[in-house]
Structure 1
Amino acid sequence: MNADFTADQSLRNGSLAMKSFKSKIIGFSVLLVMGSIAQPGSSQETKRIHFAVSTPVHYLPIWLAKDTGLYSKHGLDVEVIWIRSGAMATLGIVSGQLPLSGVGAASVVAARAEGADIELLACPLDGDVVYFIARPEIKTADQLRGKATAVTRLGTSVHFYLRTALKQLGMDADKDMTILQLGVGAEIATALESGRIAAATLSFRDSLPFLERGWPVLVDLTNSIKYPPSCVASSRSFVRNNPNTVERFLKAYTEAIHVIKTNPVLAKRVYAKTYRESDARVIDKVVDHYAKIFKSIPTIPQAGLETVIRDLASRKPLPKEFLQPDLYKDDAPLQKLIKEGWFEQLRK
């Protein structure tokens, strides 16, 4: 059984267009008894997958693969589900209810460090354009002390970006500002616009209208950190018990990235449809940006993982074995595709 909900409409003034996301979340307790999702130990590999994503455009390959029939081409039945944050997707992976889903590296590292069975399989980006933007009346970082900011949920990529930005300003995110949890990036942009929060870390898409109006950028994180957002993650048990399913999924996923990079017209159509974007200028900017920076081979960046591990270790003691990046990733499925010539085949 699927439950439909509509996220709060995100504010779009002038260059911002009003839009809402029709979202489907599967009740976790229902998924536990659904026979269509194989649990670890099943004698037959599952071909039907529920894949959860949150709102970042980083997940465009997931949607394009669905829209263009690439999952079916590779023998899978994939239902893509909107979910309000990567932290919720992490919970789904750990519980076995969403065996493959989209999650940022920070969520995976935090959960794995607590002993959870979760790992990264592919990351389409080594980093992204991220700005820490303040309201026009904020002139200095010191004016932010005691004011509110926002994340999607604690422990997500947005939270990681916020901590990093405030650290660069000589501030402590846990002490110097009040952090609200607002669910999705568009709601954070709305809160910044309305004055509910004083500043926020915003993605490329959400930052556009503020940059166009000259709102102050207190920190530009674009080139200052390596951080892999919005990766494909799973559990070690699922990968071990369903190697062919994982391989089929990665083929569809990487073929979708190839399509985005080589067929911008199709990519823009899927983006406009999925994200309900009607502004042609925004569509061009967003899709052209990600078509350029998506990696053809979505390897998991070692430097990015090390950044996340250091951040976690600075806030809580970690045993020595949990400081090793290899603990949080599984390169084998993607490396198998590389060795078998899959990516050369795509380029033909």
Structure 2
Amino acid sequence: MREKTPVILRCLFLLLWVAYFSPPGYAQPLPLYRIAYGTTGENPTALWIGVEQGFYRKHGVHVEVLYMRSGPLAMSTLAAGDVQMVFTSANNVLNGAGAGLDAVVVATVIPKAEGALIARPEIKKPEDLKGKYVGIQSIGGGGWANNMLALDHLNLDPERDRIQFLVLADQASRVQALETGRVQASWLGYTFAEVLKKKGFVVLLDLGRAPIQYLGTSLVTRKLNVRQDPKSIEGVIKGTLDSVRFILNPENKSVVVKTLMKRLRLSRPEEAESGYYALQTTYSTDLRPKVEGARKIHRIVSRVNPNLQKIKPEEIIEDSLIRKIYASGY
């Protein structure tokens, strides 16, 4: 017994030493939060920077960012419980709500329409699109919504004007389809739109400059998650806010450009710079979602999804956490 006592004491001492000197994350790993997104342009930069700069870990959340082929697919992973959040726009949230998913916007990074409706050089004016093909990423997705917002603003109706949608993959694929003439127009984010503008392609509408109200790219989760784990969601919102502030600080331009080059697989810094400057005008440090931005797209999406007639735009907004954050002075 005398021989065992020193051994026991040494073991107890070792355990106490490990517990005292180990970092907090060693004993209790940070909760994992997976965020899916379905766009291939510059919009998800806040997520990428948030992970790379450690902003999410600073607020007690380990975030993994996952690319999905489209917004609707990303929303399906939220419904299945494979991810805890989606970085997407109001149309996908509305479609999810129409299907019975308790999806809500908890913070909005891009509070307006953005990107450009780009057309081939032979398309000189909006009316020239009648009877032509427009490239989209998916029916009902964010790219489709931006195309629909642009066409609506230009007084074009796909059914009346016989405009057909061609589903392609990502924005790079739509750029290729425009160059080969497979489609005559498509909405693109500013990074890819700028590449085609330099080749003589026509900007039929810059959505960011048009007076279009829209609830753009946002952090979306389920009401169930808000009730069960508000602390983690608040951490994600704060980390995203830190990231947006970092991106909008001119001193961090080189870091943001490098991230855009890496994530979008761009070979030249000037290509990434167009995306960087676009973020300076589209991102907002006021992450409070506005119901006015959901009303117009609700009307448009309701044309193809009758289930939305029973959904009110304000039902997809849950702003209690972001209001709490701002009220604290953060």
Q: If the length of structure 1 is used for normalisation, what is the TM-score?
A: 0.79
Say which SS state the counterpart of residue 193 (structure 1) adopts.
helix
Q: Measure the CA separation in 2 of the matches of 1:139 and 1:284.
A: 27
Q: Does 1:132 align with 2:117?
A: yes
CA deviations 1:49-87 (Å, max 9, x no partner) are 221123231110100111112222222222111111111
> Which runs of no fewer than 5 residues in structure 2 stay unpaired?
1-27
Q: Find 2:196's aligned residue among 198, 207, 210.
A: 210
Q: Identity of counterpart residues, as a percentage?
A: 24
Which residue of structure 2 aligns with residue 18 of structure 1? none
Q: Does 1:121 align with 2:110?
A: no
Q: Find 1:177's aligned residue among 144, 163, 175.
A: 163
CA deviations 1:82-127 (Å, max 9, x no partner) are 1111111111112222121211111101221232111111111122
Shift of 1:320: 6.9
Give the 3 Å change call, closer, same or farther, for CA 45–334 of structure 1 in structure 2: farther
Q: Measure the CA separation in 1 of the matches of 2:329 and 2:198.
A: 44
Which residue of structure 2 aligns with residue 268 of structure 1? 257
Q: Output the amino acid matched with 2:33.
A: I
Greater mean deviation of Cα atoms: 289-298 or 135-144: 135-144
Q: Measure the CA separation in 2 of the matches of 1:85 and 1:129.
A: 17
Shift of 1:286: 1.8
> Which runs of no fewer than 5 residues in structure 1 stay unpaired?
1-43, 343-348
Shift of 1:318: 6.1
Greater mean deviation of Cα atoms: 194-203 or 273-282: 273-282
CA deviations 1:197-231 (Å, max 9, x no partner) are 11112221111022223322333333131223221
Q: Is the 8 A contact 1:123 1:300 kept in 2?
A: yes
Q: Is the 8 A contact 2:118 2:203 kept in 1?
A: yes
Which residue of structure 2 aligns with residue 53 of structure 1? 37
Q: Measure the CA separation in 2 of the matches of 1:157 and 1:139.
A: 25
Q: Measure the CA separation in 2 of the matches of 1:317 and 1:130.
A: 28
- Greater relative contact order, per chain length (Cα 8 Å cut-off, separation 6+): 2
Q: Does 1:224 align with 2:197?
A: no
Q: Measure the CA separation in 2 of the matches of 1:299 and 1:166.
A: 27
Q: Measure the CA separation in 2 of the matches of 1:80 and 1:174.
A: 37
Shift of 1:136: 1.6
Say which SS state the counterpart of residue 126 (structure 1) adopts.
coil
Shift of 1:248: 1.1
Q: Measure the CA separation in 1 of the matches of 2:157 and 2:309.
A: 25
Which residue of structure 2 aligns with residue 190 of structure 1? 176
Paired residues, number: 298
CA deviations 1:250-290 (Å, max 9, x no partner) are 11111111111122222222222222223222222321331
Which residue of structure 2 aligns with residue 157 of structure 1? 142
Which residue of structure 2 aligns with residue 303 of structure 1? 292
Q: Measure the CA separation in 2 of the matches of 1:333 and 1:78.
A: 18
**Which structure would you say has the larger Rg?**
2
Aligned residue runs from structure 1 range 27-38, under 5 A = none
Give the 3 Å change call, closer, same or farther, for CA 114–310 of structure 1 in structure 2: same
Give the 3 Å change call, closer, same or farther, for CA 267–169 of structure 1 in structure 2: closer
Say which SS state the counterpart of residue 189 (structure 1) adopts.
helix
Q: If the length of structure 2 is used for normalisation, what is the TM-score?
A: 0.83
Give the 3 Å change call, closer, same or farther, for CA 284–221 of structure 1 in structure 2: closer
Shift of 1:298: 1.4
RMSD: 2.3
Q: Is the 8 A contact 2:41 2:264 kept in 1?
A: no
Q: Is the 8 A contact 1:151 1:181 kept in 2?
A: yes
